[in-house]
Amino acid sequence: MKYWETLSSKLLIDDKWLKLTADTCQLPDGRTIEPYYVLHEAGWVHVFAQADDGSILTVKQFRYAAKEICIELPGGVIDEGETPLIAAQRELLEETGYSAIHWQSVGAMYANPARQTNTIHLFFATGLSLMGQQQLDVSEDIEFNFLSIREIQQKIESNEFSQALHIASFYRGLHALTLNTNK
């Protein structure tokens, strides 16, 4: 397996949310692909936050592009200068008003490595306590709720918890929970 070579890259969009380039790529066999669009975005975090009773903290919000209300794990963009852990702690507090005592990195995964450069960092959080009110961004209208693992699985089946990346993070968090329980 060989890497592609980037022959040139033309910047199409560059703003605070994303950068889009149209690249000219040379394949290992010498052929070229032009344009090959690449979406450059900041990394994201997801938080698998478990309450003392075993339930998982979820958020519900309207997602404009899909024109749907989606149930998800708390999370968001890693701001410039932040570590993934600091971003996860900030997002949990902003979206739900909760903080956690214990934080464990569950790893990172690509959102879509065919077209996007960013990764999603997943954290397992326990020792939750309500610290205050939500501190939402202007574009956010978020409700939060604790759901059992079984309820989340049912909502995945009914397409209420429908984002592929959040489903992957949920099951990866569930796997980490199982590993932690079996220690």
On whether both 25 and 83 belong to a single domain, the answer is: no
On whether both 9 and 59 belong to a single domain, the answer is: no
User: Hey, what are 183's tokens?
Assistant: 């220690």
Give the domain extent around 100: 44-181
Query: Quick one: pLDDT at residue 37?
Result: 98
On whether both 97 and 16 belong to a single domain, the answer is: no
On whether both 34 and 79 belong to a single domain, the answer is: no
- Cα–Cα dist 16/19, whole Å: 8
On whether both 36 and 104 belong to a single domain, the answer is: no
CA angle 158, 164, 168 (to 5 degrees): 105
On whether both 24 and 71 belong to a single domain, the answer is: no
Query: Quick one: pLDDT at residue 48?
Result: 97
On whether both 19 and 97 belong to a single domain, the answer is: no
Query: Quick one: pLDDT at residue 88?
Result: 98
- Cα–Cα dist 116/83, whole Å: 20
On whether both 18 and 87 belong to a single domain, the answer is: no
- Cα–Cα dist 169/45, whole Å: 10
| Interacting residues of 61 by C-beta distance below 8 A, sequence separation 6+ | 69, 70, 72, 140, 141, 142, 143
Q: Report DSSP state, residue 79.
A: P
Distances (CA, A) of 9 to 23, 33, 74, 116: 4, 12, 34, 15
User: What's the pLDDT tens digit per position in 40-60?
Assistant: 999 999 999 999 999 999 999
Tracing tokens 């990394």 back to the chain, one arrives at: 43
Query: Quick one: pLDDT at residue 142?
Result: 85
Q: Report DSSP state, residue 16.
A: S
On whether both 16 and 71 belong to a single domain, the answer is: no
User: What's the pLDDT tens digit per position in 66-89?
Assistant: 999 999 999 999 999 999 999 999
Domain count, the chain: 2
Domain harbouring 74, CATH code: 3.90.79.10
On whether both 136 and 162 belong to a single domain, the answer is: yes
- Cα–Cα dist 121/114, whole Å: 18
Residues of the chain with pLDDT under 70: 181-183
